[in-house]
């Protein structure tokens, strides 16, 4: 401000000064943006080369007849027609995969929730128990398959030996078409109950306000009513998260069956992911394998969307009600 003849006059900056200031700020913003994109460049290149590129390539190959040795030849929807109408293993492999998922997901979620609830009681040595329960989840799938294949061997395995010593039946486990999928479900449950699902449930349980339990205690609510009307609604977002990941992970079952059974016995564990693998890399029908992969991916996406749509009826979000 300037005092001129007793009056106060506000001095305004010149237009060229404002232009220089704005230009300097713009150059600084551009410089910061370029530096940010420079740091992002390795990730962007990795996304384009190893994710987006193979996705688009497989989408194209799904409409071709391609066997690696020659060039892809366009066949349109023939691969998809073969999958739905002519492939004798398509629908059975899909049914086995759904059977496996329907058995594993409930057992894994309920077991993880039970363990998390027990480990949230403040018992002595709970950190040690958490570590012990988490260790099976750290076992690589290949090592777990080899280990359990030996443990469950019908004639050489220690489990059947222990059962026989007390006069109990000795199942064939992984060597029987009827029992192979239930056995794989039990093995996968052993490896997943104490894993990430348990940790997520445990974090959700620790986030439930203690005031709710205190108010329910004053009203005379018992342990079951507290769990059903307070704990479950409050941890329902975590339950939904574990449910979606569990469904996707169960439907993608591959390593356990590939190592332990190779899809047998007599196609008893021939899951859909195994079907994709064998068609693509054993029979070298990469075009047909790509179409199977896109069918599988589309089914997973639709199933996930359906699960999220239905979750609005039972998932409680504290900030939305």
pLDDT at 20: 60
pLDDT at 23: 62
- What is the reported pTM? 0.86
256: closest CA among 179, 176, 156, 149?
Answer: 149
Distances (CA, A) of 1 to 4, 16, 128, 152: 10, 20, 71, 90
pLDDT at 72: 92
Question: pLDDT digits over 102-125, tens only?
Answer: 999 999 999 999 999 988 887 777
Kindly state the tokens that stand for 133: 């329960």
* Average per-residue pLDDT for the chain: 88
pLDDT at 13: 52
> Which residues does 129 contact at the CB level (< 8 Å), separation at least 6?
119, 123
Compute the average pLDDT of residues 167-177: 92
The yes-or-no verdict on residue 2 having pLDDT over 50 is no
* Strands of the chain, DSSP E: 2-4, 7-9, 64-65, 73-74
pLDDT at 100: 97
The yes-or-no verdict on residue 10 having pLDDT over 80 is no
Kindly state the tokens that stand for 86: 């002519």
CA distance 321 to 309: 18
CATH class of 78-320: mainly alpha
125: left (phi over 0), alpha (psi -120 to 50) or beta: left
Compute the average pLDDT of residues 19-34: 72
**Domain limits, the chain:** 14-61, 78-320
């Amino acid at each position: 401000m300037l005092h001129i003849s007793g009056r106060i006059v506000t001095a305004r900056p010149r237009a060229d000064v404002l232009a220089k200031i704005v230009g300097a700020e713009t150059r600084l913003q551009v410089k910061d943006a370029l530096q940010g994109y420079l740091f992002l460049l390795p990730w962007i290149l990795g996304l384009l080369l190893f994710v987006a590129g193979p996705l688009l390539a497989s989408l194209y190959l799904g409409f071709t007849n391609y066997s690696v040795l020659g060039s892809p030849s366009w066949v349109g929807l023939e691969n998809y027609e073969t999958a739905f109408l002519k492939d004798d293993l398509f629908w059975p492999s899909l049914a086995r995969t759904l059977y496996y998922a329907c058995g594993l997901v409930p057992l894994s979620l309920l077991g993880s929730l039970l363990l998390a609830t027990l480990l949230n009681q403040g018992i002595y040595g709970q950190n040690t128990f958490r570590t012990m329960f988490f260790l099976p989840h750290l076992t690589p799938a290949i090592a777990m398959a080899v280990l359990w294949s030996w443990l469950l061997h019908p004639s050489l395995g220690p489990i059947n030996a222990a059962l026989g010593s007390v006069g109990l039946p000795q199942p064939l486990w992984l060597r029987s078409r009827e029992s192979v999928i239930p056995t794989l479900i039990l093995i996968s449950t052993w490896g997943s109950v104490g894993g990430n699902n348990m940790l997520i449930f445990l974090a959700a349980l620790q986030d439930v306000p203690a005031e709710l339990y205190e108010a329910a205690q004053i009203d005379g609510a018992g342990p079951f009513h507290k769990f059903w009307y307070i704990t479950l609604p409050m941890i329902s977002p975590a339950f939904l998260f574990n449910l979606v990941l569990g469904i996707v992970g169960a439907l993608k079952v591959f390593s356990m069956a590939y190592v332990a059974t190779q899809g047998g016995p007599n196609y008893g564990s021939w899951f859909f992911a195994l079907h994709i693998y064998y068609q693509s890399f054993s029979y070298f029908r990469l075009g047909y394998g790509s179409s199977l992969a896109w069918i599988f991916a589309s089914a997973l996406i639709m199933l996930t969307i359906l699960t999220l749509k239905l979750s609005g009826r039972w998932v409680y979000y504290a900030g939305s009600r």
